[in-house]
Structures are given as C-alpha cells and as structure tokens.
C-alpha cells in the first residue's frame, strides 16, 4: 500500500481496523481495496494538526487534534466534535499523548495534564522538557524528558 505522507502513528481499533495519522491527515485502512484512504475530520480549521487515536472504556474512538478531541461517528464515517469529556479548551499539544482506560495524558501550554474522562477531574504538573509519557495505570505515568531524565507522576 502507498501513503503519500509522513506517518506519525499507527493504531488498531477494537474492531481490527488499522488507522494511521500524519500531522495533517488521518487515514483508515480499507480491506476491500487493500489500501489506506483519508478519513474525514469535521473541523473548521484548515491548518489543523492531528495526533494520536485512542479508545475510551465505552468503546468510543477518539482523535487528538490541536483544536481539541474528535469522536469517530460510524454513521457519518467521520471524526466529529461530540460531547466532550475533556474539561480543557483548545489549543492542546498533539506531540505528547497517552491514555489508560478513562485517563488521558496530554500537554497544554506549559503543563502535562491527566484528565479522568468519567469524572472530569483534571490534574497537572509543569512541563519540563517532556518527551514521552508511559502510563501504567489511570493514576501513574512514567515521564521521560529530552534531557534523558525520567520520573513517576
């Protein structure tokens, strides 16, 4: 298969569908034609930047974007802004992201946030050159930095 774009991430959803994201597009693999096709995202911003795809425990599929979070709507065959369980305003960072069950971890401004989507609880700590986050539970994440430091949050 061919994709004429630099792919940042690959994701396999609960139904076995393969997704890929670049900073500017989202792709969905279609078995019938054995290739990726661009997935629609209902956004008003033509300069939108995309990040990771993830599931919440209810099975819903979500996409991170600079302008917020988008939910996959199977009926519309598109990512749409829906009921937002994330108590933050855009813009958000798309480079650093992780999720574990109901909790999502992401950068916004100068902080790393942990948002528990079921309760709406949001906690944060200062962003000190964070490179990656690796959650091990809804309340614990291993943080690594560009300075080759690591700590538990």
Judging by beta carbons within 10 Å of its beta carbon (0-12, 13-18, 19+), is residue 62 exposed, middle or buried? buried
Arithmetic mean of pLDDT, 133-137: 93
For the cut 70, the answer to whether the pLDDT of residue 1 exceeds it is no
Q: How far apart are CA 130 and CA 112, in angstroms?
A: 8
Look over the chain and give the mean of its residue pLDDT values, rounded to a whole number.
Answer: 87
pLDDT band at 58 (very low <50, low <70, confident <90, very high): very high
pLDDT for position 90: 78
What global pTM score does this model have?
A: 0.86
Q: How confident is the model at residue 134 (pLDDT cuts 50, 70, 90)?
A: very high
- Return the beta strands (E) in 31-110 as ranges: 35-38, 40-41, 50-55, 61-65, 68-73, 78-80, 97-100, 103-108
CB 64 within 8 A of CB 75: no
Dihedral over alpha carbons 107, 108, 112, 115 (to 10 degrees) = -90
Which percentage of the chain shows pLDDT scores above 70?
94
Q: Which one has a higher pLDDT value, 61 or 35? A: 61
pLDDT given at position 100: 94
Q: Work out the pLDDT band at 2, boundaries 50, 70, 90.
A: low
Q: Cα 149 from chain centroid?
A: 24
Q: Which two tokens stand for residue 9?
A: 């991430």
pLDDT at 4: 65
At residue 89, the pLDDT reads 78
Q: What pLDDT is attached to residue 94?
A: 85
pLDDT confidence bin for 70, thresholds 50/70/90: very high
């Amino acid at each position: 298969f061919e994709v004429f774009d630099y792919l940042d991430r690959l994701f396999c959803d609960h139904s076995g569908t393969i997704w890929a994201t670049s900073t500017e597009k989202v792709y969905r693999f279609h078995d019938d034609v054995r290739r990726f096709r661009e997935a629609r995202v209902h956004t008003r911003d033509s300069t939108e930047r995309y990040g990771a795809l993830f599931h919440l425990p209810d099975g819903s599929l979500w996409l991170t974007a600079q302008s917020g979070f988008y939910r996959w709507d199977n009926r519309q065959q598109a990512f749409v802004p829906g009921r937002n369980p994330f108590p933050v305003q855009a813009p958000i960072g798309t480079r650093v992201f992780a999720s574990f069950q109901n909790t999502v971890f992401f950068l916004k401004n100068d902080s790393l946030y942990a948002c528990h989507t079921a309760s709406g609880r949001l906690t944060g700590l200062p962003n000190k050159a964070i490179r990656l986050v690796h959650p091990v539970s809804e309340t614990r994440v291993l943080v690594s930095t560009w300075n080759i430091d690591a700590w538990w949050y």
